[in-house]
């Protein structure tokens, strides 16, 4: 799966449409406020891959992450090592 990045979002194409993670940046904080994966593609790890990409970008950029999206909050419970990046 190829994750692409443009200002304010990470995304990938799936057989059933585009999956995406949306964010904005306030100061040195990446606020992740939305993830979407088409119904037919859920449960395949796509949201995790998008979220991993966002956290990796934030880390490389020296930013903290403010998780506003329910998926990202649950992601942090599954991957507690990422909590170090939380704002």
Cα 20 from Cα 71, distance rounded (Å): 12
Range of the domain at 48: 4-85
Read off the CATH number of the domain in which 25 is found: 3.40.630.30
21 or 83, higher pLDDT = 21
Cα 25 from Cα 67, distance rounded (Å): 12
**What is the number of other CB atoms lying within 10 angstroms of the CB of residue 62?**
7
Which pLDDT band holds residue 82 (cuts at 50, 70, 90)?
A: confident
User: Considering just the CA atoms, what is the radius of gyration of the chain in Å?
Assistant: 12
Q: For 25-80, write each residue's pLDDT tens digit.
A: 999 999 999 999 999 999 999 999 999 999 999 999 999 999 999 999 999 999 98
On whether the CB atoms of residues 49 and 3 are closer than 8 A, the answer is yes
Whether pTM > 0.75 for this model: the answer is yes
On whether the CB atoms of residues 1 and 12 are closer than 8 A, the answer is yes
| Domain count for the chain | 1
């Amino acid at each position: 799966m190829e994750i692409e990045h443009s200002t304010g979002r990470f995304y990938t194409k799936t057989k059933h449409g585009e999956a995406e993670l949306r964010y904005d940046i306030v100061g040195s904080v990446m606020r992740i406020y939305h993830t979407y994966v088409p119904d037919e593609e859920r449960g395949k790890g796509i949201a995790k891959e998008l979220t991993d990409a966002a956290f990796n970008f934030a880390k490389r950029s020296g930013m903290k992450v403010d998780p506003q999206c329910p998926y990202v909050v649950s992601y942090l419970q599954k991957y507690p090592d990422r909590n170090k990046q939380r704002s």
